[in-house]
Amino acid sequence: MLKAEQNLTKNLLKNICQESSIFKGGVNMPKISVIGICGNSVFMYADHFHEPGETLVADSVYEEIGGKGINQAIAAKRMGAEVSFLCAVGDDENGKKCIQTLKENNINAYCKTKNGKSTPLAFILTDKNGENRVTVHKSAQLSAKDVISFENEIASSDVLLLQQEVPDEVNETAVKLAEKHNVRVILNPAPIRNISDEMSGKIFAVTPNEQEMQAIETDHFKNCITTVGKKGCVINNSEAVPGIEVKVVDTTGAGDTFNGVLAVCIAEGMDLKEACRYAVTASGISVGRKYVLNAIPHREETERKMKNE
């Protein structure tokens, strides 16, 4: 090989190596920061949902650590990202379980223990069709001050992932910090409540389900990705990404899986359609299993499924 060719080859390899280090989390590893709740989830399974005044007998009961925040953080981790997660827990046994679960899943945990408060608790009732109804009690809550202490993690992230199970001031502070450090924000607007026009304009993508979409002004966001259950999702009210064929067992956590995977794909530079293909596949896999954490797939399983679809 001529010397000129050798130099050209070295330069090409150097450029390739530099380009492969574009992620803040390290070579080929995007970094996702998540702010949300972490608590104890109690699952009950019954034939149907209650009518007013009706008492149901559950077929089975199961408990695990959950919450939109931790679910999305774990989904992002299993997709291959470095993940930092900010949450508030109580000074109780469930708080200790939250911290342990985050450690077991290799999440960089920033858990703020709130003395005198209990760890968030959720009750999930699932019917024979796999549909669910969720009620959440939030005692330990994050504050704007907690978010400010998390600024370095936000600044070093490729994407910041938020939900609305935290106080408004928490998300508002987080979005301002993300804007300051040029970090893209994905907001899962659940549970639904008003989002200011100022905040909407700073968010890269909002991810409502069909009910939530009816309650927000989607035109105020740069991108709106609406999840439509087993049908997949719709990008900016125009482009549909179909879901996968699956026997639905339990839909709990499907949206969280979608959001965690979507965040990683966007951080990796995929276009919205390709990112959504990954997200709908992963969420489709998750609804074929009971519960949430055990149902969230790893990247390898998602990619195998995509090849077979």
Report the distance separating Cα 151 and Cα 170, nearest Å: 12
Q: Which sign does the torsion angle of CA 164, 81, 223, 278 carry?
A: negative
Neighbour-count burial of 54, counting CB atoms closer than 10 A to its CB (0-12 exposed, 13-18 middle, 19+ buried)? exposed
Phi and psi, residue 137, nearest 5°: -110, 125
Which residues are the active-site residues? Answer: 256
Q: Which sign does the torsion angle of CA 198, 201, 206, 212 carry?
A: positive
- Tracing tokens 């409540």 back to the chain, one arrives at 193
Order across the sheet with 225-227: list the strands: 225-227, 233-235, 239-241
Q: Any idea what DSSP says for residue 229?
A: G
SS3 labels along 185-205: EEEECCCCCCCCHHHHCCCCE
Q: Which residues are paired to 123 by β-bridges?
A: 42, 135
- β 205-206/159-163 pair status: unpaired
* 3-class DSSP state of 119: coil
Report the distance separating Cα 281 and Cα 286, nearest Å: 9
Q: Any idea what DSSP says for residue 241?
A: E
CA distances from 169 to 72, 73, 244, 282 (A): 21, 21, 37, 31
